[in-house]
Amino acid sequence: MRGIIIMDIDTSTSLFCVIGNPISHSLSPVMHNSAFADTGYKGVYLAFNVKDVASAVAGIRGLGIKGVSVTIPHKLTVMEFLDEIDESAIKIGAVNTIINRQGKLFGSNTDYLGATNALLEKTSIKDKDVIMIGAGGAARAIGYGILSEGGRLTIVNIIEDEGKQLARDLGVKYYPLQEYKDYDCQILINATPIGMDPNIDEMPIKKEYLQKDMAVMDVVYNPLKTRLLKEAEDIGCITIGGVSMFVHQGVAQFELWTGKKAPVDVMRKTVLDALSDL
């Protein structure tokens, strides 16, 4: 069973939230509230289903909401309503984090930090050949993160226009997934929903393309261990699940908002416990 988080809420409590549509599945509230409780930070974090981004941002200003997570489908749209956006978010082309500083709203992106820090827990990135399957919003952030850490990136994607566009934006090579067979790399990343529940038997590539000296990362976290990760683990690969990326992007958000060191292990355990209750 999920642990009960007891909060002392009064007029001095800082409010944080996540906005998206849909939002009922979000694990961000339980993760961030556990971090507030563990560190003694006087904050509370809620989830808001948002369709009208302009009105939501006006509400953030009007209510003095101190920090906001932004999820699908608002990561791009929200940018036009903010006062300032940092360089990483501009280059990625998406904001997943808003910081309210005395009424001025600053946009940032911690998704790339989530990916790189999850990888760096298990392997180095610098000077390694990285193949990423996917070219959507998550892939855009991950690709930026890989390049910022000195990795050599190749993008493989089903949709040609999307793949070519991201490859152009990042200055890397693109190949169509249907034709690609040369998976000679040190790090392989699945940045697509392939393998997500209920389609748990699907894999983005054939298992014979896996090599035992690879580190294999999957952004999917339901199931906790996708078929790709199971097959990779079976032949001796280092594996990194989607929970790790999700937790690390939340860790970066918590530290931006509060200035405190985030309790990574507490946040990870809370998310794993919540997933086990689903």
Q: How far is CA 223 from the centre of its chain?
A: 16
Q: Is 150 left (phi over 0), alpha (psi -120 to 50) or beta?
A: left
59-64, long-range: CB < 8 A, 24+ apart: 60/98, 60/100, 60/105, 61/100, 61/103, 61/105, 63/15, 64/15, 64/100, 64/103
**From the candidates 51, 66, 75, 122, which is the catalytic residue?**
75
- C-beta of residue 185 within 8 angstroms of C-beta of residue 214: yes
- C-beta of residue 42 within 8 angstroms of C-beta of residue 74: no
**Is 75 part of the annotated catalytic residue set?**
yes
And the tokens for 2?
């999920």
Cα torsion for 57, 62, 65, 70, to the nearest 10°?
-10
- Which residues are known to be catalytic? 75
